[in-house]
Structure formats: structure tokens, C-alpha cells
Structure 1
């Protein structure tokens, strides 16, 4: 797409435990980081993607805008969870205009919600590799009430929501601007949030499979709380390995291993399901992102479980930034949690 003047946008990742703001500037040699901010949300402010405490969320967004000192008003955010359905379907060949007209009734077979209660979008991927007489289409449906809630809080915070994306696609965009994937390579990303883990399997830089697992970092924290009788903040520190006294180390390691294994198995099962249901070649690598992925030794545990290379994502890998303005150690620390935000910030006004 070509624009006479690029309109700047903010990527706003509204997660269940924190909100992340990212602003990028695109230049001749790629992207440059302009602004970055992150702020925690109180528990129960967002539950399964539903905004339960809009007033607090609006205040946090306003606070982030103040921290970042940004003047940009256009914002892109994303949704995930029970209220969003992403399906890859096959349909008879038709033009985009023809599909635009027929998508409502074509969708009814695939979407478990009342068709009048959802916003529907699609992307034509091209002909099916196994049957060239039909085309592959990514179908996305999101509940209107959830979309309206997100649009409302963004507007009340003084911003202009221009795109509502899906977490899995934001991760795909983040990957595309940071990693040079070999042609035909099939990779997976697991974005471990506080309450939801989003899985996206990408082939030829296009989503081939997405799934949300309703388990994340908070469940591990709660398990640590329950077994070690500590408060939430202390359990969080234990989870990432920043608090461990020698006396309780064996107990902590046992609890961490058990809680982490449960999530690792769920992620592994999703990858197995995809590979058993398709003729694609083996997934070559799993990238981990999200604040919940920073569980102590989780990378190693996940690799042992699935038997393929596992790597913690660096969403700033190919993004320039001024080290006077952005502390390198801090960027490494928060990097995995900013992956969705970076993907959102790479969108452009006018994108689908």
C-alpha cells in the first residue's frame, strides 16, 4: 500500500494483567522504536478478554500516553480468547468482492455464535495446495460487544481506534519484521499471557493454525501461592526465579516444574494436533513470547517436552532504538511481553 503521508499509529496491547504501548517509525532500513511503556492492571480488571473495570483501564491507558509523551492519536489493539474465532476454511474460487457479499452465510457453518452478534473479516490466501479447484481463506469472527468495549475504552482515553486485530496475527507481523524465516519453513509461536496462551503456527509467513489455550502465567502463580502459602507478588518473584532461598529451593523447584509441565504439555498437544491434521512438514522451531513465558527454566522444559528447538522471542531484534532513551537491560527484561504490542505497532492506517 502506498500513502502520500504516513499516519503514525500506537500499538496498544490490552492484556489481562498489563497494558503495553509501542510506537514505531518506519524508515528506509526498517523500523525504529519511538515510544515504549508498560503498566500493570489490577486482578479482575479483564477476565477472558471481557473488560470488567473500564474506568481503571481508561486511566491506565491515559497514564501510558503520559509516560510515553506521545502525540499520536491513532491506535491499533487486538483481541483473543473465547470471543474470537479464527478458522482456515476452503471455498470455491471467487473474487474478493464476491466473497465480501457472501461471507455472512458462508460463515454460519463455521462459527458457533449467532451471526448477527459478530463482526466478520477474512483474508484470501490463494489456491489450496492439495486441491487447486478451491481457495484457502482465513476467517475471523469477533463478538461485537467485546469489540465495542475495546473501541469505547480507547476512545474514552482520547485515542482513535483504527484497527482491531487478533493477537495471533499481531505475533505473525512481529515475527515478519524481526526474523528472516527460510522459504517454506513452518514455525510456531506460543504467546504465554497471564490468563491465555495464544498459539500461532506460521508457514510461508502466513498463519496456518491458531488456537487459544485458557491457561497462562497466573495459573502457575496461583499454584505456587497454594502450595507455598505466599502472596501473589512473592509467588510472581518465585515464578521467574528472582526469589529463592536455599532452604526452600527443592520445594520451589518441584512446584515450578509441576506447574510449568502442565502448560508445556498443553502447548505440545496443540503442535501435535496441527501436525497430525495436516500434511505440512515438521515444525522446525517454537518461539516463546508473552510475560508468562519468563517462568524459570520454562524454555528448557518446553524443549525437552516437544523435542524441537525452543527460543525466547526478541521483538526488538531488527528494530533500531537509541540506547540513551531505552535501557538495553530493561528492553531484554520486558522484551517477551512486548511481542504483541510490536506487531500491532507495525500496522498501518488503512490496513484490513
Structure 2
């Protein structure tokens, strides 16, 4: 017994190679639902721990009324589910984020970090509306090629005020947002629950949810994200349903999906895809699925099932089986897997797995690590105190059965009384420290579819694109003849509006004769 107690105490300072699981709830807020998922992982098996869904009305008097309904539903879920932690992982809408893969000359890690910290890295490679200081930025290296002297970086950013608006929504309901992901990557994180042989395959996920319509494709651990353009009238039809959901709408939708998949195949070099997995948070998900299957015959289309590789305990089986549209839970499941990312476990595994746009996230991570270590120590102290109590009671019982003298009994009773006082004192210290730990935790509280570039004339290629759903987008094209600008702008004008030539930059050195065209445009 003493040897075991010694090993427990010594273990409090030992480092573990296993990732720390920080309790976290995946909170997905869509047009139609508020959904929460909590998962547990043991060895390599994920299992469902908590699940809840609350429906939202199709429309509200105002946006403020809708926010009030969301907060009310989240509070009710919190009361019903009794989560072990208030920590939450949420996602931003795709059109609220800027996602780019940037290619730069090869830099060593120290040089790269210094360039990112002082802002010079983004000044020359990224164009964003407004000032960079207005954004929360996540970046990570996704591919290195020392021989070709190139470095590919994933750049993800969103305005701080937009992030805070989403965080405040869940904070008002009593949750503490630790992870702020982007919806397309949250959906991609469903791959974490897959078996390795399955997750390493080429994957194509598509979400059609009215205001959220995109494709996220994975090949060789690299993300390819495409905006699926849906007109405002078609978005309204998808949200409201009814007679406006005609064959022409799904034909237009299928054409956009087909374009995204074709672009992915061309850009990635993948020989083909096995299937397209469809997700939708809308109540008409089944109609969307059947209509797209009729329109897209060249690819196999399946509804995404987020529990294919997640163990569902018996008490949740009927709850999951009664769900008419399991795909609508996929984003919440993807967010729930983020419990292993709080302390940066996936930092050097794959960039698209650990995106976090939470402002001041580094400070939050340090605080959570400190809180986790304190909690771990308290658990070990409670084990020691419990073992100490068992030993004391056992010893007392042994002495009683051996019929000691009255004096011995009085002596033992005095010792037992002192031991009990000591234990109560330790319990009080433990209770006070637990309360401090809890209180301290509270206080510390397009994307792009560039398929149109296939029509660009020979002698031109793209170097940078900042493609937004709203506002001006910018594309930079290298050309061997500045006269090609007219052909490029003419081709772009067929798909976009307000196409303007902003600048023609002369070649930077004598080694290259390529000029740079800077063109702005807006999505129709």
C-alpha cells in the first residue's frame, strides 16, 4: 500500500506522452438547430458522452430575438446535460473567415516565427480588407520543400469583433469558449474519429445549409476549400422550402458542386474520388440529397454519418437512431474532438486539425494548463487522504478485536480523534483549494473557387488570391506580356462584376521578365 502511495505522489511530477484530454463541449449553432456533443477517447476509440439538440424557428422578429432564443436553448441544454466543464468549442461561418494557402521562399523555423511576429510575413503575401491588427490570425506550415526552396503556409483569419460576437453568444449562456474554429475545418475534423486506414484516403465533404455552402477536400493531408456559390434567392428557397425548391435550383447547385470537385481534381492531381459525402443542417436535407443524386451521376453521393467510427453507448442508441438527419450533427462532432487540441497536442501533426482563432489564446492555454495540473494534484491528494482514512479505520478495528486494555483504548481513541481532526483539516484544505481552482478558471475566463482561371491565356499564372464572398476580392497574376491583361479581365468579367485593373508592376529583377497584374473584382 505504501509503495502504491509513493508511486502516486511521484507520478504527479512525471511527464506523460499521452495527450491531455480537456473536457470540452462541441457547440454548433446553425440556421435550424442548436446542437451540442461531448465525446470521450480511450486508447484509439472515440465514444459518445453527451448529446443534445434544440430546434430554432424558421424566422424571428429580429436578429436580437434569434440570439435570445439561441441563448435560452443553450442554457436549457446546460441544465439538462450537466456537463463536467463549461469549456466550449465553437465555429465561425465560412464567409466570416479568410482562408488561404500561401507559398513563400523557404525559411527556417526561427526566421519564419520572427517574420510572423513582426508582421512582415503577411505584409508581402496577404491582402486583407482593413488593417491586420483588426484580425485574429492563425497560421501554420503545411508543406516544406527545401530542394525547391518553397514553404506552404495555411493562413486563417477573422475580424476580432466577429469572433467576439460569436463568443459572447455562448458566454451569455454560461459556456467558456476555448476553441474558435472555422465551420469548414470543424466539419473536416470528423476525420479524427475515423480509423487511420480510412482517414488517410482522399476525402470530399460538402455542406449545403442555405447560408453555409462549401466543399472541403483532403488529399495528402492538405486542405482544398471551395465556396459553392448559391444566389440569394436560392438561399432563401433552401431555408424556407416549398415550391421554390424546383429542379432548376438543384441543377444550378449541382453545377457548382461539379465545378468545385473538378477544380479539386485538377489542383491536387488526384486521379479521381471515391465518393462525395453530403452534410446539411436543414430540415429538407433528405430532399437535397435525393435531388443532387439525380443531378450528379458521375460521382457517388452519400449522406455523411458522423457516428460510423464513434462508439454509441446503449443509453444513447435510441436517441441517435431517431435522428432523421445524422449529417447535421457532423460539425458538432468535429468540434467535440478538439478536447485534445487545447494544449497543442496536434501542433506538429496537421495544421487543419488545430485551428483556433480565439484572441489571446496563448494566455488561455497557459491558464488551462495550470488549472489542469492543480486539478490533477488535488485528485492525487484525495486518493492519499482516502487511503490514509482506510488504514486508520483498519488499524482501529484490528485493535478492537484484540481486546486491548482500557488505557490502550483511551490512547487509541485520542489518536483516532487527532487523526480525524487532521483528516478534516486536510479535507477543508482540499475543498478550499478546489474552490480556488474553480474560481480561478472562471476569472481567467471564396473561399475560393478559381476554376475560372482555366480560361486564362498562356503566359500567365496566379501568385496570390484574396477571394471574399462580400466586398472586393483581389487576384495577382504574373504575365510575360502586360497586354494579356485585357484578355484576363474580359474572361473574369463574365463571372464577376466590377473587374478593375488596379496596378501593373514591372519585373522586380533582370532574371525574370514577368510583370504582375493586380486586379480587383466582386462576386455577382
TM bucket by the smaller chain?
0.7 to 0.9
1:86 and 1:210 in contact (8 A); partners too: no
Compared with structure 1, are the counterparts of its residues 181 and 51 closer, same or farther at alpha carbon in structure 2 (3 Å cutoff)? farther
| Separation in 2, partners of 1:173, 1:4 | 17
Relative to structure 1, the CA distance from residue 222 to residue 58 in structure 2 (aligned partners, 3 Å threshold; closer, same or farther) is closer
In 2: Cα distance, 1:11 partner to 1:185 partner: 25
User: 1:11-69, CA deviations, whole angstroms, 9 ceiling, x for partnerless residues?
Assistant: 0112232221000011124111011111123446799xx98843332222112222323
Check the 8 A contact 1:299/1:312 in 2, yes or no: no
Report the counterpart of residue 309 of structure 2 in structure 1.
Answer: 318
Q: How does 1:1-352 map to 2 (within 5 A)?
A: 2=17, 5-43=20-58, 53-103=66-116, 104-108=119-123, 109-114=125-130, 115-127=132-144, 132-178=148-194, 185-211=201-227, 213-214=229-230, 219-222=237-240, 224-225=242-243, 227=244, 255-292=245-282, 294-296=285-287, 298-299=289-290, 301-302=292-293, 304-305=295-296, 307-327=298-318, 330=321, 332-348=323-339, 349-351=342-344, 352=354
Query: 2-side partners of 1:193 and 1:297: how far apart?
Result: 10
Decide which moves more: 157-166 or 107-116: 107-116
Residue 248 of structure 1: aligned partner? none
Contact 1:20 1:338 in 2 (8 A): yes
Q: Deviations over 1:108-165 (max 9, x none)?
A: 5434322222111112112259x73212111101121110111112222111111101
The aligned length equals 321
Look up the SS of the partner of 1:208 in the other structure: strand
**Conservation of the 8 A alpha-carbon contact between 2:58 and 2:240:** no
Cα RMSD (Å): 3.2
CA distance in 1, matches of 2:186, 2:174: 23
TM-score, L = length of structure 1: 0.79
Deviation at 1:217, TM superposition (A): 6.8
The 8 Å contact of residues 76 and 163 in structure 1, kept in 2 or not, is answered as yes
Change in CA separation of 1:277 and 1:303 when aligned onto 2, cut-off 3 Å: farther
- Give the Å deviation of 1:314: 0.7
Alpha-carbon deviation of 1:195?
Answer: 1.9
Q: State the SS of the aligned residue for 2:69.
A: helix
Structure-2 change in CA distance of 1:306 and 1:87 (3 Å): farther
The 2-side partners of 1:101 and 1:214 are apart by 41
Question: What stretches of structure 1 of length at least 5 have no aligned partner?
Answer: 228-254
Task: Return closer, same or farther for 1:28/1:306 CA change in 2, 3 Å cut-off.
Answer: same
Worse-matched range after superposition: 165-174 or 213-222: 213-222
Greater displacement, 65-74 / 118-127: 65-74
Please identify which structure carries the higher helix content. Answer: 2
Q: Is the 8 A contact 2:226 2:260 kept in 1?
A: no
Q: 1:234 — aligned with what?
A: none
Q: Deviations over 1:158-195 (max 9, x none)?
A: 11111101111112210231365568743210012242
Do the aligned partners of 2:26 and 2:334 also contact (CA within 8 Å) in 1? yes
Conserved? CA contact 1:275–1:282, under 8 Å: yes
CA distance in 2, matches of 1:202, 1:123: 17
Matching residue of 1:239 = none
**Cα distance, 1:303 vs. partner?**
6.5
Contact 1:16 1:46 in 2 (8 A): no
Q: 1:194 to 1:325 in 2, by over 3 A?
A: same
Structure 2 vs 1, CA of residues 335 and 159 (structure 1 numbering), >3 Å: closer, same or farther?
A: same
Deviations 1:62-109 (A, max 9, x none): 122223232321100111232211111212223455434433443354
Which stretch shifts more, 6-15 or 317-326?
A: 317-326
**Contact 2:285–2:325, Cα closer than 8 Å, also in 1:** no
Larger fraction in strand: 1
Unaligned ranges ≥5, structure 2: 1-15, 345-353, 355-524
